Chains A and B, each alone.
Chain A
Amino acid sequence: MAASQAIGEATRRELIARGIALGGTGSDVDSLHAMLRAEELLVVTYEQLLAATVFTPPATELAERFLGHERAHVAALARELERLHGAPPRRPAGLGTVGSLGESAAVRLLLELERAALRVYYTELARVRDAGVARTAAAIMGNEAQHTTLLRELLSPGDVALAVPASFVVGE
C-alpha cells in the first residue's frame, strides 16, 4: 500500500510538471498540440493500465470505453491539425511503470490525468480563434468532464457531491 501511494504521489508530481509544459503558446496549431499531448498521454496511460490488468471487471469495462473515447479525441484533433496545416506532435512516452498500482491508485491517476486534460481545454478555449477547433475542443471537454464523474463514482459510489463537485469545470 505504501509503495503504491509513493508511486501515485510521484506520478502526480510529474503530471503537474507536465501540465505546465502542456500549455500552448499562441497559435491555434499550438493549442491543438497542447490538446493532443494531453490526449495522447491519456491514451498511453489507459493502454498501460489495461495491459497490466489492474482493474476489476466493472472498472475494466469503463477504462476500455474511455480509452475508445480518448482515441476518438486524438483522431478528431489530428484532423483539425491537418486542416490547419500543422505537423503532428511527438507521442508522449507515458508515465513509466504503472502496472504495480492497485485499482484505487490507478483510478486516482486517471482522474488526475483527466483533470490535467480539462485544464488544458479550459486554457486553450480562451486562446483559440478557429470556430471549428473551439467547437471540437468544447465537445471533448464535456466528455472528459463526464469521465471524471464516472471515475469519482468508482472511488465513492453514490456520492453525487463528490462525483460533480464544482459548478464550473476548469480541471482543478
Chain B
Amino acid sequence: MLNGVLALERRAIAAYTAAIPLLEGHNRRAATEFLRQELLHAGRLIALITATGGPVAPRALSYNLGEPKDTRQILLLLHEVEQAQIAAYLDGVQRLSPGQIRAAAGSILADDAQHVSVLRAALGMQPVPSAFVSGGE
C-alpha cells in the first residue's frame, strides 16, 4: 500500500516539475512550494517502507500527464493529481499499521488537502466544498 501512494507522490512530483515553468505569479509560487512538500512526502514514505523492511518500488520511467494547453488545464491536472493522492491515503489509512504509519499517512493527506484548497481557489472553485475530504470533490 505504501508503494502505491509513493507512486502517486512521484506522479505529483512529475506533474509539479512539468507545471512550474508554465505557471506565473502566485500559481507558480504555490506550485513551487507544493513541489517541495511533495518531495518531502516521498522521502518520508521511502523511509517508512524501508523501516518496515519492504522493498521500495522503482520510479516509473515516465508519467502520462496529458497535454494541458493553458493555465486552467494545468491547475486542473494538479488538482486531479492531488485528489488521487487523497483518495489513496483515505483508502490506506483504514488498513495501515502500526499506528504511527497511519498517523503519518493522515498528516500527509491533510497537507495534500490544503494543496487542493489553494488549487481550487486559483481555479475559481469553492476551496473547501465538503465537510469530509474524499478525493472526489
Q: Which listed residue, A138, A145, A146, A166, touches B89 by the CB 8 Å rule?
A: A138
Given the interface pairs A135-B94, A164-B33, A164-B34, the reply to whether A142 lies near B109 with Cβ below 8 Å is yes
B89-134 interface (Cβ within 8 A of A): 89-90, 93-95, 98-100, 102-118, 121, 127-128, 130-134
- Which of A66, A141, A149 is B117 in contact with, Cβ under 8 Å? A149
Residue in B30, B103, B111, B121 with the greatest tally of chain A CB atoms within 10 Å: B103
Is B86 interfacial (CB 8 A cutoff)? Answer: yes
Instruction: Output the least CB separation between B109 and chain A (Å).
Output: 5
- Tell me if A3 counts as interface (CB < 8 A to partner B): no
One of A7-15, A79-87, A89-97, A115-123 contacting the partner: A115-123
Nearest-neighbour CB distance to chain A for B12, whole angstroms, equals 12
B34 and A134 contact, CB distance less than 8 A: no
- A108-147: CB near B (< 8 Å → 1, else 0) gives 0000000000100111011110011011111111111111
User: Taking the nearest CB of chain A, how far is it from the CB of B58, in angstroms?
Assistant: 23
B29 within 8 A of A: yes
Any chain B CB within 8 A of the CB of A52? no
Q: Is B44 an interface residue (CB 8 A)?
A: yes
Inter-subunit contact B128/A143 (CB<8 Å): yes
Question: Min CB distance, A39 to chain B, in Å?
Answer: 11
Contact A169 B40 (CB under 8 A): no
Q: Which residues of B contact A167 (CB under 8 A)?
A: 36-37, 40-41, 108, 111
**CB proximity of A140 to chain B, nearest CB, Å:** 6
B30 cross-chain contacts in A, Cβ below 8 A: 160, 164
Q: A138-B90, A150-B117, A170-B107 are in contact. Are A143 and B102 (CB under 8 A)?
A: no
Specify the chain B residue showing the minimal Cβ separation from A160. Answer: B30
Q: Cβ of B69: which chain A residues have Cβ within 8 Å of it? A: none
Please tell me which one of the listed residues B89, B94, B128 contacts residue A69 in the complex, with CB atoms under 8 A apart. B128
Q: A121-B106, A126-B100, A131-B94 are known contacts. Are A164 and B111 too (CB-CB below 8 A)?
A: yes
| A138 engages B105 (CB within 8 Å) | yes
Most buried by B among A122, A141, A147, A170: A141
Contact A163 B118 (CB under 8 A): yes
